Amino acid sequence: MSTVQDSVTQPAAVAAPSKKSMTVGTTATLVLLALLVLTPLFVKNFIIFQMTMVLIYAIAILALNILTGGSGQFSLGQSAFYAVGAYTAGIMMEHMGVNYALTLPAAGIICFIFGFLFGFPALRLSGVYLALATFALAVAMPQLLKLGAFEHWTGGVQGLVITKPDAPFGLKMSQDMWLYYFTLFVSAVIYILAINLLRSRSGRALMAIRDNPIAASAMGVDLPMYKTLAFGISAAFTGIAGALGAIVVQFVAPDSFTIQLAIAIFLGMVVGGVGWLPGSLVGSAFIVFVPNVAEHISKGLSGAVFGVLLFVVIFLVPHGARQVAYMIEALFRKKSKS
């Protein structure tokens, strides 16, 4: 029965923190937000593009965090939901001429339905079986996308090329920079939604399920309902990330959504700390920048570097960035006391 609850021994960061840590946390948040808003003004377009990707993966990791950290189910198949979101955006923009901003809610809704439906069979599975079913989903997804029957819409193996949107209202801003701020806005909205969700009644129900499903159902929590709902919400956010990813990369193809992507998202969650939402950003920066550095040393090395670092994390700081954050916070507290 041991699901992730063992890994979430420390009180979740979303549960009311002490007053002191609030100030440390708030300061950190404000500094980070200022950095996120100001940095693009001083760097090159390519770095802006990478920062955009960090934000996008952060949304995907956040989505997995809601599922795993919130309800204790875990998924190795997030790349499948990401793919559905990306294709929704691609097809709507290229075949239907829909505005890019409108594809995000559409991707969210479609992925919600998709995730909710997948959540039904997943209901009867726990722990390792769920990992297996979602793993299978991730492996099978590129094949499904290559299907001849949908080729007219999906472009088959070749995929779809998407036109990059310009900045609106005649703003004098490069496309990359505009998309960065657009993504930043969307991620901020999703982050706030996620925090409020986990603090709400439903969020508490999810955590009750994670910590003790039997006690939760005895208390009247509708287990199947909340578990599938968690899957749906997680899939919806992942789908929005996928749609944003498609718009920013300007390209969707089946082979961009392999098991490697699912592994990267999972890895980002572990590195950031399960159930700790701010960790999503740390994990995401990790999965975007580490492969770059590794590829720089030798082509094809990134997988090995990922793997080794993942072992380092689970051996040394099993709670990921969250553990580091707690250590730093404890340090601050000690200083202010003495």
Partner 1 sequence: MELFTNQVLAGIATGAIYACMALAIVMIYQAIDHLNFAQGEMAMFSTFIAWQLMQWGLGFWPAFVLTLAISFAGGIVIERALFKPLTNAPILAQVAGFIALFAILNSVAGLTWDFTIKQFPSPFGSSGFLGSQLISTHQAGMIGVTLVLLILLFVFFRYTRIGLAMRAAASLPESARLVGINTSWMIALGWGMASAIGAIAGMLIAPVVFLEPNMMGGILLYGFAAAVLGGLTSPLGAVIGGFLVGVFENLVGTYIPGVGNELKLPIALALIIVVLVIKPSGLLGRAIVQRV
Could you say whether residue 98 binds partner 1 (CB under 8 A)? no
**Could you tell me which stretch among 10-18, 124-132, 188-196, 226-234 binds partner 1 (CB under 8 A)?**
124-132
Could you say whether residue 301 binds partner 1 (CB under 8 A)? yes
Could you say whether residue 131 binds partner 1 (CB under 8 A)? yes
Could you say whether residue 314 binds partner 1 (CB under 8 A)? yes
Q: In 3-state terms, what secondary structure has residue 322? A: helix
Contact 203, 90 (CB under 8 A): no
Contact pattern from residue 230 through residue 269 relative to partner 1, giving x for each residue in contact according to CB under 8 A and a dash for the rest: -----------------------------x---x--xx--
Minimum distance, C-beta of residue 129 to partner 1, in the bound complex (Å):
6
Nearer to partner 1, 185 or 311 (CB): 311
Handedness of CA 188, 190, 194, 200 (dihedral sign): positive
State the virtual CA torsion across 37, 38, 39, 44 in degrees, nearest 10: 100
Minimum distance, C-beta of residue 248 to partner 1, in the bound complex (Å):
25
Find the farthest-apart pair of alpha carbons in the chain and give their distance in angstroms, rounded: 69
Could you say whether residue 327 binds partner 1 (CB under 8 A)? no
Element (H, E) at 256: none
Q: Which two tokens stand for residue 62?
A: 């956040």
Could you say whether residue 189 binds partner 1 (CB under 8 A)? no
Could you say whether residue 129 binds partner 1 (CB under 8 A)? yes
**Could you tell me which stretch among 22-30, 279-287, 293-301, 330-338 binds partner 1 (CB under 8 A)?**
293-301
Stretch 65-84 residues interacting with partner 1 (CB under 8 A) = 68, 74, 76
Q: Which residues contact 102 (CB under 8 A, 6 or more apart)?
A: 92
For tokens 């002191």, the residue is: 20
Could you say whether residue 125 binds partner 1 (CB under 8 A)? yes
Nearer to partner 1, 108 or 115 (CB): 115
Handedness of CA 97, 160, 256, 227 (dihedral sign): positive
Ramachandran assignment for 253, one of left (phi > 0), alpha (psi -120 to 50 degrees), beta (any other): beta
Stretch 27-66 residues interacting with partner 1 (CB under 8 A) = none
Q: Which of 42, 46, 169, 315 binds partner 1 (CB under 8 A)?
A: 315
Q: Determine the Cα–Cα distance for residues 61 and 109; give it in Å rounded to an integer.
A: 18
Q: Which two tokens stand for residue 336?
A: 């202010």
Minimum distance, C-beta of residue 57 to partner 1, in the bound complex (Å):
16
Q: Determine the Cα–Cα distance for residues 291 and 303; give it in Å rounded to an integer.
A: 8
Could you say whether residue 297 binds partner 1 (CB under 8 A)? no
State the virtual CA torsion across 160, 233, 279, 32 in degrees, nearest 10: 80
Contact 59, 244 (CB under 8 A): yes
Query: Binding-site residue total for partner 1 (CB under 8 A)?
Result: 53
Could you say whether residue 127 binds partner 1 (CB under 8 A)? yes
Could you say whether residue 149 binds partner 1 (CB under 8 A)? yes
Could you say whether residue 117 binds partner 1 (CB under 8 A)? no
Q: Determine the Cα–Cα distance for residues 171 and 37; give it in Å rounded to an integer.
A: 17
Q: Determine the Cα–Cα distance for residues 190 and 188; give it in Å rounded to an integer.
A: 5
Could you say whether residue 303 binds partner 1 (CB under 8 A)? yes
Could you say whether residue 144 binds partner 1 (CB under 8 A)? yes
Element (H, E) at 170: none
Could you say whether residue 11 binds partner 1 (CB under 8 A)? no
Residue numbers of the site for partner 1 (CB under 8 A)? 1-7, 68, 74, 76, 121, 124-125, 127-129, 131-133, 135-137, 139-140, 143-144, 146-149, 214, 259, 263, 266-267, 270, 274, 298, 300-308, 310-311, 313-315, 318
